[in-house]
Amino acid sequence: MAAYDLEEQEQLAEIKAWWKQYGERLVHVITVIALLVFAWQGWNWYQRNQVGQASVVYGALQQAVQAKDTQRIKAASGELLEKFSGTPYAVLGALNSAKAMIEEGDAQTAKAQLLWAAEHGKEELRDLARLRAAAVLLDEKAYDQAIAQLNGASSTSFEIRFQDMRGDILAAQGKKTEAVSAFQTVLSKLGELEKSARSDGVGTEWQGESNAILRDLIGQKIDALGGGK
């Protein structure tokens, strides 16, 4: 029994020595981990709460758009950008608000909304905002700014639309050769897209008809420019 007591005392002494050397550090590490867990949970709750509130404001924006209530549209869109800019609803709200403002003849507000969405949106939504912003800038004859919106599309589909818009801008500047080159790029990209769709077996009759209409429109634009001559 005495041997066991001695052994236990030695183990206790070792534990005490270890705790004296490492205990404070261990408590610190555990505290940091606990704080990180709480912070992560708090951040997730905040994000969910933000998204939930933003969805309510976005719903109010959609109702205002349907009612063509300009003041309510601006108020709801402004609230989304000011309070919920980190949520997808802010970009969606900016796009919807801009479309409504264009229909109401307020191109300046629409442009501001679209440029914000082009800067803060992701992938397809960003590209859609850039495309629409380029169209507004084209109407303003701000050609260089419009062209600057059309670099680096996220997909072949948007690259086709970007090149089509680029051709329109160049044509408006009287740069026929460059415009025709952009339109020919559209035709080339359309061919690539259709080939890929056939290879993947995802092509649809509707897509084929849509591409045929676009191909015909691009051909008319090239003819109107005299083939760039």
The 10s digit of each residue's pLDDT in 40-61 is 555 455 456 667 788 889 899 9
- Mean pLDDT of the chain, nearest integer: 82
Question: What are the extents of the domains in the chain?
Answer: 67-142, 150-229
Q: Is the pLDDT of residue 104 over 80?
A: yes
Q: Say what the pLDDT of residue 43 is.
A: 45
Q: Say what the pLDDT of residue 201 is.
A: 55
Q: Measured over all CA atoms, what is the biggest interatomic distance in the chain, rounded to whole angstroms? A: 109
Q: Which has more pLDDT, 201 or 107?
A: 107
- DSSP structure class, residue 155: S
- Measuring CA to CA, how many Å separate 15 from each of 9, 10, 100, 212, 222? 10, 9, 72, 80, 85
- Mean per-residue pLDDT for 8-37? 65
Q: Say what the pLDDT of residue 154 is.
A: 80
Q: Is the pLDDT of residue 176 over 90?
A: yes
Matching residue, tokens 């600057």: 148
Question: 101, 64 in Cβ contact below 8 A?
Answer: no
Number of DSSP helices (H) and strands (E) in the chain, helices first:
9, 0
Q: Say what the pLDDT of residue 49 is.
A: 62
With cut-offs at 50, 70 and 90, classify the pLDDT of residue 157: confident
Q: Say what the pLDDT of residue 55 is.
A: 86
Task: Pick 150-229's CATH classification: 1.20.1070, 1.20.58, 1.10.600, 1.10.12.
Answer: 1.20.58
Question: 130, 158 in Cβ contact below 8 A?
Answer: no
- Mean per-residue pLDDT for 2-14? 61
What's CA 63's distance to the chain center, in Å?
Answer: 23
Distance CA 142, CA 98 (A): 18
Please give the share of the chain, as a percent, with pLDDT higher than 70. 72
Single-letter amino acid, residue 106:
D
Indicate whether this model's pTM tops 0.85.
Answer: no
